[in-house]
Amino acid sequence: MTARADFLARIRREVAKAPGQFAAATAPRPAHPSAAADAIRRELAERWPQALDRFREEFERVAGVFHRVPTLAAVPAVIAAIARERGAGRVVTWDPGALGFDPAPALAREGLAVAAVPAGEEDEAARERHRAEAAAAQIGVTGADFVLAETGTLILRSGAGRPRSTSLLPDVHVAVFGRDRLLETLEQVGVMLEAIHADADQPTSGAMINFITGPSRTADIELTLTRGVHGPKEVHAIFVEAP
């Protein structure tokens, strides 16, 4: 066998290890996105425990680390524990308004330096400053706009006070979410994004949307896998039980 044939044979063997799990199909676009989104929210108000179990299973399957806490007040302790285990001293977070709470005081008491992104400072100097802070931090803390159960995926929209660099540049990404963010299928995600796009009052309706499924992975032409080359080496999800 020639070197070229051997090379191609190895690629075929590796590709055959991960066949497609299901056939792709196009979902219909909702005629009334807001009404469809409300219907999904009503359904998930009852089914969220099953969606959470599925998310945890799929998230851990892709090397995510799942945490569960009773209230937002318990979140900083989890972040501090992650920092201690990794010898981290710097944390960068979304704006507290976008995050839903302010972890900085509790994290500062744990000896961590915390830099938050202030919403309303979107000039180039502020963006450069935050990128530098995110690059220097070992941990980035964000919320999650949606959490997709069927693939263990975190879905984040960028915008004021919630730049992409918070989740992309630090070695460890920590996302905090509650039951109202859970969705079961990619079709439901499409409906929710359509509803946001159709809402003129949504300030981030045209923002960048990131689908994050586990830590960053990069493979060369022979499918040798490396983590953390183009994003975080670890992704943690903290579920807050209290609505």
pLDDT digits (tens, 9 = 90+) for 181-192: 999 999 999 999
Counting residues of the chain whose pLDDT is more than 90, the rounded percentage is: 65
Report residue 174 as tokens.
């920590």
Confidence at residue 210, expressed as pLDDT on a 0 to 100 scale: 94
- Mean pLDDT, residues 225-238: 81
**Residue from 55, 67, 41 nearest 149 by CA:** 55
Question: pTM of this prediction?
Answer: 0.84
Most confident of 8-12, 110-114, 230-234: 110-114
Cα separations in angstroms, 91 against 56, 62, 169, 173, 239: 25, 24, 11, 10, 19
Categorize the per-residue pLDDT at 224 as very low, low, confident or very high, splitting at 50, 70 and 90: low
pLDDT, tens digit (0-9, with 9 covering 90-100), for 150-186: 999 999 998 888 999 999 999 999 999 999 999 999 9
Distance CA 151, CA 211 (A): 10
- For the chain, the domains span 32-240
Tell me the CA end-to-end span of the chain in Å, nearest whole number.
62
* Cα 39–Cα 210–Cα 133 angle in degrees, nearest 5: 130
Instruction: Give the pairing of strands 182-183 and 146-148.
Output: parallel
**153 and 212 in contact (C-beta within 8 Å)?**
yes
Q: In the CATH hierarchy, which top-level class contains the domain 32-240?
A: alpha beta
Tell me the per-residue pLDDT of 125-135, one tens digit each, with 9 for 90 and over: 888 888 899 99
Q: Containing H/E element for 3?
A: helix 3-16
Predicted pLDDT of residue 5: 86
Tokens of 70: 């009773």
